[in-house]
Chains A and B, each alone.
Chain A
């Protein structure tokens, strides 16, 4: 991913900053510009999430995505934050320990790097709580 495309979302990725719709009281992470429920009637504000959540579902990836080869096998999961929203994250744990319903908490980690430019991307991964 290009540097600009990543940096634009840096505050959200580093600090778990998403959005909250004041109209329907729903939380969004990743952040949204328009509330999918209220659409243009929604009133969106920035929201920093508390952090903990649980695993909704997961997989252990053996054939890695490009740029993730050295990490395989790695656990990829859908995490549900305690405020409600779900998003995709790597779970840093022993693959055999991962399970649906597992409580997890965020950690600041390296996500990857941009090919020959060597730019390193950081963001949030999850570990067992």
Chain B
């Protein structure tokens, strides 16, 4: 297998974009990533596009072909373009497919993109589409919602480990603070613990400010074999590990409701592949679709002992400048969570950090970063480790 490098990245704006279409935002990100890489578009050998639910959000399937077409890569060039779906982990998984295509030697210059346009439907319809990432026949039918499933995780975490609503609120406060320094973020205003605790209850114990919002957005990266990456960029970022794991589709079938075993397995596989430990990681973008999810993620990946994720957050160890910087981009919470795009946006953030291009949210001297993207309530987890040094 060949080493693989990232040579170009770009996010569209994230937010509620009433005036822009699905194809507008994905072309913005895709063209931006190609421009950033210095590759000419006709050199692309393939595209992998993460998208969870174009069918339900914009009544459009056949997303791979649509994006190749509107990126100007279909006529004459006929660049192959493949849609990848794993609920909210669709982006992370599209990136993994692209990495494997280059690593295998089958393709050289490859784009991985992710996109979701969620505000063209009502928030009720958007929630129903998202709920399809859980078990429709045995969870959805009982009135389960996504916040409801994570609320049951939160309730049990509080019961078993004494995690508090204040500690969960601290996740949101930190991520909004980081997001305030990210030009693409949906929310750029800092918030307080009190504003989280006083926001309306969605699914007890989760308030609306414990939840990531409904968002439009697209992200794209361009990959090349490490051997030729320097032909295009002075700052290639290398992929040290790619890992994926599955777990039960329904929350009720998990071994332990407070542990996402798919995250544990994917994290372990990634560390083994990179020959690294948590001590080597300067920053990590984790899947904070809800505040409790970030607490579980830092425990599942080994940054915090089981049950101590809330305490670690409260003590500031996951802030920029702390033991490990978690969600420097603002995470899903402040950037917004366009489900298919999130996993690629995480890769864009880590790349910008490792290049030293993260502005006011820069982690000093960042050498190694990690991404962690979860589908559903934990049925899929995708983890990557990226580094400045090959």
Contacts and interface: CB of A to CB of B under 8 A. Distances in A.
A29 B190 CA distance: 45
A35 to B, nearest CB: 13
A5 B137 contact: yes
B128 A66 contact: yes
B250 to A, nearest CB: 7
A57 B201 contact: no
B125 A86 contact: no
Contacts of A76: 142-144, 148, 152, 203
A49 to B, nearest CB: 14
Contact of B141 (A63, A78, A123): A123
Interface in A98-124: 100, 111-112, 121, 123
Contacts, number: 106
B153 to A, nearest CB: 8
Given A58-B155, A88-B142, A90-B143, A63 B202 contact: yes
Interface in B134-190: 135-145, 147-148, 151-153, 155-156, 159
Nearest to A59: B151
Given A88-B138, A88-B252, A65 B145 contact: yes
Contact of A78 (B136, B152, B203): B152
A14 interface: no
Contacts of B205: 59
Contact of B203 (A6, A62, A88, A111): A62
A87 B134 CA distance: 13
B66 interface: no
B40 interface: no
A89 interface: yes
B86 to A, nearest CB: 20
A88 B144 contact: yes
- Which among A56, A59, A64, A65 has the highest number of chain B CB atoms within 10 Å? A59
Interface in B285-330: none
B137 A62 contact: no
B145 A64 contact: yes
Interface residues of B, number: 37
Contact of A100 (B140, B156, B202, B203): B156
A64 B155 CA distance: 18
A68 B200 CA distance: 19
Interface in A73-102: 74, 76-78, 86-90, 95, 100
B203 A63 contact: yes
Contacts of A67: 143
A102 to B, nearest CB: 12
A61 B145 contact: yes
Contact of A88 (B139, B156, B206): B139
Q: Which 10 A-B pairs have the closest CB atoms?
A: A59-B151, A57-B156, A60-B204, A68-B143, A86-B252, A66-B128, A57-B152, A59-B203, A63-B202, A78-B252
23 contacts: A30-B250, A56-B257, A59-B148, A59-B151, A59-B155, A61-B143, A61-B148, A61-B202, A61-B204, A62-B204, A63-B127, A63-B203, A65-B148, A67-B143, A76-B152, A77-B152, A86-B252, A87-B138, A87-B250, A88-B138, A88-B142, A90-B142, A123-B141
Given A65-B131, A89-B142, A121-B141, 20 more contacts: A30-B138, A56-B257, A58-B152, A59-B206, A60-B203, A61-B145, A61-B148, A61-B203, A62-B202, A63-B145, A63-B202, A65-B145, A66-B127, A76-B142, A87-B138, A88-B138, A88-B250, A90-B142, A111-B141, A112-B141
Interface of B: 124-125, 127-128, 131, 135-145, 147-148, 151-153, 155-156, 159, 200-206, 248, 250-253, 257
